[in-house]
Amino acid sequence: MKIKSLGLEDVRSVEWNYNTQALQLVDQRLIPFRISFVQLSSVKEICSAIKEMVVRGAPAIGATAAFGIVQAIKEIENESSNNKKKMLDEKLKQLLKTRPTAVDLKNFASKTYEIAVGSNFSMKVTLERAQELADRMVDECKLIGKKGAELIQDGDTILTHCNAGPMATIDVGTALAPLFEANREGKNISVIVDETRPRLQGAKITAWELEQEDIEHKIIPDSAAAFLMSKGKINRVILGADRCLKDGTISNKIGTLSVAISAKYYDIPFYSAFPWSTIDFQSESSDDFDIEFRDEKEIKYVTSFEEEMLIANPTSNALNPAFDITPPNLITGYITSRGVLNRENLNKEILKETK
């Protein structure tokens, strides 16, 4: 993606630095106030970066975990053959425990782990596999952009929630990819950006990414979305997903369900955009989702440029679910690299994978 202030045109939020032999991330916590690249040279540091949301967004977390397995191979290379698998298993568990809801983390880490074990813990082969998964994700996001742009009409105003742009997806984006593509095609579009409490990924990151692409946009409080829908100010909703079940149920950033219910009531098309790795082929129902509850401090404080400010009654407790669950009857379609699919066609494509 572009970063105008640095004069850069091709930046990935997650990238293996072949010079330093370490994982390089853009610290998403500091956007838009500062663009900072961090180098991570241990599995412990990588796990901390995921937990603390230095990196966030399901595909970006997935790639980070894949490169985490590469780092694990580096750390065990001098161990005896008998110890290597045991130690790698433990490091895999550490990575998988960092954030429980998004399925990309498990999918990317597991695929890289399998290659690592199958190659007798070859650093070269494992790194090639992690890089391949990251590159494939970027290519898939480009297809999501092209397929999704076909839905967007000249003059549309699109609502998006949270952040599913280049920072969250290594590069290009999922929900934002169709907007970028439509803009490049010359369509006159405008974007309504939910601020996305409590961490404000929409107000901070999505708005910044849209600015990099010179796309007209306005930030709104999450609670204003239904009102704007009622006034005919929103033509369609496009957002991401952290997990999609075989029946089309999605889990996404908290607030997604509220947006979906409002869109259904006002007959506004609601689309979820995601790569194929976000599909959960194992879970049978949303009861299997492990919804992450984060520290109440995120609710009671706001952070701006690394400064925290208390905004709530200090002695009150808070609940901070990070995700919610949206059933398929509220979803118009799914924007994927295989096209814009309705629920029936999504099920057919998934069935092909499971046969």
Alpha-carbon separation of residue 49 from 61, 216, 321 (angstroms): 10, 32, 20
Strand bridging mode 37-40 / 243-244: unpaired
- Return the sign of the alpha-carbon dihedral for residues 203, 4, 54, 71: positive
- Residue ranges and CATH numbers for the domains of the chain are 4-140 (1.20.120.420), 151-354 (3.40.50.10470)
- Give the model's pLDDT for residue 301: 95
Amino acid 41: pLDDT: 96
Single out the residue of 228, 234, 219 nearest to residue 271, CA to CA. 234
Can you give the pLDDT at residue 102?
A: 85
Q: How, if at all, do strands 333-336 and 270-273 pair?
A: parallel
Q: What is the pLDDT of residue 33?
A: 93
> Helix 103-118 vs helix 58-76: angle between axes, to the nearest 10 degrees?
30
> Catalytic residue at 242?
yes
On the 0-12 / 13-18 / 19+ scale of CB atoms within 10 A, 334 is buried
Count CB-CB contacts under 10 A for residue 112: 29
Residue 326: name the closest of 234, 264, 236, 235 by CA.
264
Size of the chain, expressed as the number of residues it contains: 355
- 143, 210, 249 from 234: Cα distances, Å: 25, 17, 23
Catalytic residue among 104, 156, 222, 242: 242
Instruction: Give residue-wise pLDDT tens across range 244-286.
Output: 999 999 999 999 999 999 999 999 999 999 999 999 998 888 9
Comparing C-alpha atoms, which of 31, 51, 83, 82 is closest to residue 206? 31
Closest CA to 182 of 208, 207, 145: 145
In angstroms, the CA 16 to CA 170 distance is: 11
Please give the distance of CA 68 from its chain centroid, rounded to a whole number.
Answer: 17
Quote the CA–CA distance of 273 and 140 in Å, as a whole number: 11
Residue 150 amino acid letter: E
Count of alpha carbons within 13 angstroms of residue 260, beta-carbon side: 24
Are residues 240 and 168 in contact, defined by beta-carbon separation less than 8 angstroms?
A: yes
d(CA 110, CA 137): 16
Q: Specify the pLDDT at position 351.
A: 87
The reported pLDDT for the residue numbered 132 is 98
Q: How high is the pLDDT of residue 300?
A: 97
Single-letter code of the amino acid located at 178: P
Which residue numbers in the chain have pLDDT < 50? Answer: none
